[in-house]
Amino acid sequence: MDCPGCARTIETAVRQISGVTDARVLFSSEKLVVSASQDVRNAVEQAVRKAGFELTASSASSVTPAARPGWQQNRMLLLLALLVLLSSVLGQFAPAWGDRLFVLTTLIGLAPVARGAWQRLRSGSPFTIETLMTLASAGALIIGAHAEAAVVLLLFQLGEQLEGYAAARARSGVTRLMALRPESAIRLQQGQRTEVPLAALRPGDRIEVAAGSRLPVDGRLISPLASFDESALTGESLPVTRASGETIPAGATSVDRQVELEVVSEPGESAIDRILQLIEEAETHRAPVERFIDQFSRLYTPLVMLLSLLVMVVPPLLGAGDWQPWIYKGLTLLLIGCPCALVISTPAAITSGLAAAARQGALIKGGAALERLSSLRKVAFDKTGTLTPGKPQLTQILRFGAASEAEMLALSAAAEQGATHPLASAIVAAAQARHLPMPDARDQQVLAGRGIRARVAEQQIELLTPAHAPGLTAQQRRQIAQQEEEGNTLVVLMRDGEALGALALRDRLRSDAVAAIQGLNRLGIESLMLTGDNPRAAATLARELGIDYRASLLPADKVSAIRELSQQQPLAMVGDGINDAPAMKAATLGIAMGSGTDVALEAADAALTRNQLTQLAPMIALARRTRRIIRQNIGIALGLKAIFLVTTLLGLTGLWLAVLADSGATALVTANALRLLRHRD
């Protein structure tokens, strides 16, 4: 399958089967996905074979068949090249015999092409390159252009091989990713080492990975310190040292020693599997320009065939010349009607762009997301877990009454036990670090955007934001304001309605946050911080970053702000938590941090898999470069068609030059798209 046109032929054939509701070919991984109301596997296999393609059942343990030797893949090309050469040489000494050999060469080359055209016609795809080549070559034979007919078929075979090579290069990123996953693993069970397929592994199993071998699944390191090469997944060139208890992704290579790990991923749910699933999902979200080109190409070929027929018939009937020259021009126009260069111009660029992004630590969910990414003019960031690590620390305890700091911290930690908010985790961690006893809490109630309430030792304990804490004196509010101006987030502790004091916590900026904002500035993109934190703490962080901010926002307020800003200019929302998902959905584009929750990753249109904000600007720059290359490719494809349309009507272009121009245009737009694979940060 060398171009999206082939994929469309397969989809058309399969969709005609009774019971099939949808069929989609994933060009990057050469997979056919069929939705049906009944078991149609046999019918699908027959339909695909009738269309002239082979179908192989895939499984998690399937092995890619070895590639055939080059001479076997190019047998027809080599045979036609030899016959054309012999025909040309023979024609120098015996023109009649040379001409007969050209006819034989044409018939040999035409046979598989005509068979392919017939198969596609029966499958519901009459307007294909095979149909055009069959008509043009047969017509050339009829009017006596035997040498040109043979050369046209030779150049067609050459173009097909170039397209195949280009398609393989475009898929190379996905192919290399699939190759990272071994087919089996060594499982340790009751002192025995057993080689088992990946499908047999379950979370909790223990496996052994030899030095220099790749991890077959995500695993938790049991062995002491070990170094792993994770470059294939993260792009980091240096080995990473991991300690016992750390999770290592599938596809990483144990660099220096044999290691033992505990399996933590279900079959088909490892880091590599998730990336491959996202890439396949991305193909279902096509860019608007890609959909337009696909629809245009469906009309382009039949229109050119109609124009070709008119060129053959109308001028001779009007007395504008003999039949043969106009038939020849019409046949040449048929070859210009091949839409391959146009059809592949956009998918090749998008596939290469997505592969380059994945290699650099960014997953983009399809061409539609890539196109929106290229148009961004503003980026809004969540604060906690995005601009900051999301690991605040207790910096100070303010006492308003007689309760000691230890008592206040113990009561606060008791109320926060089990809560998932980063501030709650920080309070519990601080109490544990001081070895404070934490009484049991019951009737815990999260107060959205305000705090938490619980019963602790028959007392009602509340931890509230200062704005929602009742009864604070002017002096207490001044103390809180002073801490907030220093960048702290304050939580007021209430016991039975009385303010005992406040806990000051602070989350530092991520080490790469400033560099990330500077990278966006260089692209002319504005940045904005959206946070539920207090305005004073938010202002301190915003000053360090040099960006605007909006503070004291509830999740619903973030959504409203995003909708308002998105109406002004294309806007991305970057976040990592469950509460960020609605805002990410409301934005022009949602971007999730790689360490984010599953909900955030699901809501996002793109993800920074290395969990590095500095990958954001290169991802946008790559999207913009992809957009430029798409425009270049469309210009090349349509420009060459227009030039050869004019030169053909003027009688300046022959059959062989037309097919060479078409193959050349296809190779040119593909090579232009493949430049994206060399894109660097």
Does residue 50 lie in a domain region? Answer: no
Same-domain check for residues 458 and 421? yes
| pLDDT at position 458 | 87
pLDDT at 640: 84
Give the domain CATH number at 224: 2.70.150.10
What string of DSSP letters covers 153-165?
Answer: HHHHHHHHHHHHH
pLDDT of residue 661: 75
Residues 494, 595, single domain; the answer is: no
Q: Count CB neighbours of 373 within 10 A.
A: 26
Residue 381 maps to which CATH number? 3.40.50.1000
Residues of the chain with pLDDT under 70: 1-5, 26-30, 57-73, 159, 162-180, 231-238, 275-287, 577-579, 595-602, 679-681
Domain end (from 565, 581, 611): 611
Mark whether 294 is an active-site residue. Answer: no
434 and 500 share a domain? yes
Question: Would you state the pLDDT for residue 163?
Answer: 64
CA distance linking residue 56 with residue 58, whole number of Å: 6
* Confidence (pLDDT) at 174: 59
- Please state the three-class secondary structure of 258-284 as a single string: CEEEEECCCCCCCHHHHHHHHHHHHCC
Q: Are residue 493 and residue 546 in the same domain, yes or no?
A: no
Q: If you search the block for the tokens 């109301």, which residue do you land on?
A: 37
CB 665 within 8 A of CB 640: yes
Inside any domain, residue 664 = no
Please report the sign of the dihedral spanned by the C-alpha atoms of residue 123, residue 128, residue 129, residue 133: positive
Residue 463 placed within a domain: yes
**Single-letter amino acid code for the residue at 432:** Q
| Contact of 490 with 534, CB cutoff 8 Å | yes
- The helix (H) or strand (E) run that includes residue 441 is strand 441-447
> Same domain for 519 and 502?
no
Predicted confidence at residue 278, as pLDDT, reads 63
pLDDT for res 10: 81
For residue 491, is it within any domain? yes
Query: Do residues 490 and 542 share a domain?
Result: no
CB-CB contact of 606 with 365 (8 Å): yes
Residue 447 maps to a domain = yes
Question: Are 392 and 426 within 8 A, CB to CB?
Answer: yes
- What pLDDT is attached to residue 427? 93
455 and 409, same structural domain?
yes
- 216: Cβ contacts below 8 Å, ≥ 6 apart: 181, 182, 184, 185, 198, 201, 207, 209, 250, 270
Are residues 472 and 605 part of one domain? no
Confidence at residue 279, expressed as pLDDT on a 0 to 100 scale: 63
Q: Is residue 616 part of a domain?
A: no
pLDDT tens for each residue of 75-130: 888 888 899 899 888 888 888 888 889 889 889 988 888 888 888 787 777 777 77
- Residue 339 phi/psi, 5° resolution? -95, 10
Residue 402 has a pLDDT of 87
**Catalytic annotation, pick one of 294, 382, 533, 605:** 382
Query: What CATH number did the domain enclosing 442 receive?
Result: 3.40.1110.10
Establish if 527 belongs to a structural domain. yes
Give the residue from 486, 506, 526 where a domain finishes: 506
Last residue within a domain, chosen from 506, 540, 571? 506
Provide the pLDDT for residue 681.
Answer: 56
Q: Are residues 385 and 524 in the same domain?
A: yes
| 496 and 448 within one domain | yes
How far apart are alpha carbons 544 and 539 in whole angstroms?
A: 9
Domains held by the chain: number: 3
> Is 176 a domain residue?
no
Contacts of 576 (CB under 8 A, 6+ apart): 382, 385, 386, 390, 592, 593, 595, 596, 597, 600
531 and 384 inside one domain: yes
605 with 539, same domain: the answer is: yes
Contact yes or no for 298/4 (Cβ under 8 A): no
Range of the domain at 402: 393-506
